[in-house]
């Protein structure tokens, strides 16, 4: 009987350990960078009304820091096929604190998708790396989208 209890206890502890490890997934970046971008391209950012204002502010700050010419247009505006158009969406959620759960920035030119950056926190995670400044995650997405860094470097930046 004692041997059986010890065996059951070990199985329980090992199962708990496996569950904890699976719950510690770090945020992930998936990136298809914009290729062959002309430095003189005009950029249009479509303002997503459903996303927190800080997302757009971070995109604008990034574009200004990197000397890109851009304009912001209302959600639902038609794409100008001669300009690089950025569309974005971000979702925040609570888990003891507010954090960016998932985000997407898509780039279009000439009616075609020419790049995309995605950020996602796994559904079930106990990893503290999900917390942090959303602006840094969005900045990493922009860096990866415009091929300043790759997705691996973007992820490494948030795990520091």
Kindly write down the DSSP assignment for every residue of 77-107, as one continuous string.
PPP-TTSEEEEEEEEEEESSSEEEEEEEEEE
Q: Span 110-138, mean pLDDT? A: 80
> Where does residue 34 rank: exposed (0-12), middle (13-18), buried (19+ CB within 10 A)?
buried
Asked if residues 27 and 130 have their Cβ atoms less than 8 Å apart, the reply is yes
Would you state the pLDDT for residue 155? 58
Q: Give me the chain's average pLDDT, please.
A: 80
Q: Which residues contact 6 (CB under 8 A, 6 or more apart)?
A: none
The residue that leads in pLDDT, 5 or 23, is: 5
Conformation bin of residue 20: beta by default, left when phi > 0, alpha when psi is -120 to 50: alpha
Instruction: Supply the CATH number for residue 137's domain.
Output: 3.30.160
Would you state the pLDDT for residue 18? 42
Q: Please report which confidence band the pLDDT of residue 149 belongs to, taking 50, 70 and 90 as the band edges.
A: confident
Q: Please report which confidence band the pLDDT of residue 135 belongs to, taking 50, 70 and 90 as the band edges.
A: confident
Give me the residues paired with residue 93 across strands.
99
Total domains in the chain come to 1
Question: Is residue 15 assigned to a domain?
Answer: no
Would you state the pLDDT for residue 97? 72
The residue that leads in pLDDT, 94 or 104, is: 104
The residue that leads in pLDDT, 101 or 63, is: 63
Question: Is residue 114 assigned to a domain?
Answer: yes
Residue 153, pLDDT > 60, answer: yes
Question: Is residue 52 assigned to a domain?
Answer: yes
Question: Is residue 21 assigned to a domain?
Answer: no
Cα(32)–Cα(114) distance, integer angstroms: 8
Question: Is residue 17 assigned to a domain?
Answer: no
Would you state the pLDDT for residue 21? 44
Q: Quick one: how far is CA 37 from the chain centroid?
A: 21
> Where does residue 96 rank: exposed (0-12), middle (13-18), buried (19+ CB within 10 A)?
exposed
Question: Is residue 7 assigned to a domain?
Answer: no
Digit-coded pLDDT (tens) for 37-85 = 776 789 999 999 999 899 999 999 999 999 999 999 999 888 899 999 9
In the sheet with 28-32, reading across from the earlier edge strand, the strands are 28-32, 112-120, 98-109, 84-94, 43-46, 70-73
Question: Is residue 8 assigned to a domain?
Answer: no
Would you state the pLDDT for residue 22? 43
Residue 122, pLDDT > 80, answer: no
Question: Is residue 9 assigned to a domain?
Answer: no
Q: Please report which confidence band the pLDDT of residue 154 belongs to, taking 50, 70 and 90 as the band edges.
A: low
Residue 52: domain span:
27-159
């Amino acid at each position: 009987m004692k041997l059986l209890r010890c065996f059951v206890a070990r199985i329980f502890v090992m199962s708990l350990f496996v569950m904890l490890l699976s719950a510690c997934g770090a945020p992930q970046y998936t990136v298809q960078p914009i290729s062959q971008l002309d430095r003189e391209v005009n950029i249009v950012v479509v303002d997503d009304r459903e996303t927190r204002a800080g997302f757009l502010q971070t995109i604008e700050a990034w574009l200004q820091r990197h000397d890109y010419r851009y304009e912001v247009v209302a959600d639902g505006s038609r794409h100008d096929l001669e300009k690089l158009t950025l569309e974005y969406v971000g979702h925040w959620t609570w888990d003891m604190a507010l954090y960016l759960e998932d985000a997407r920035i898509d780039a279009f030119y000439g009616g075609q998708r020419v790049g995309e950056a995605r950020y996602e926190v796994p559904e079930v995670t106990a990893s503290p790396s999900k917390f942090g400044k959303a602006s840094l995650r969005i900045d990493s997405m922009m860096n990866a989208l415009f091929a300043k860094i790759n997705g691996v470097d973007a992820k490494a930046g948030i795990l520091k």
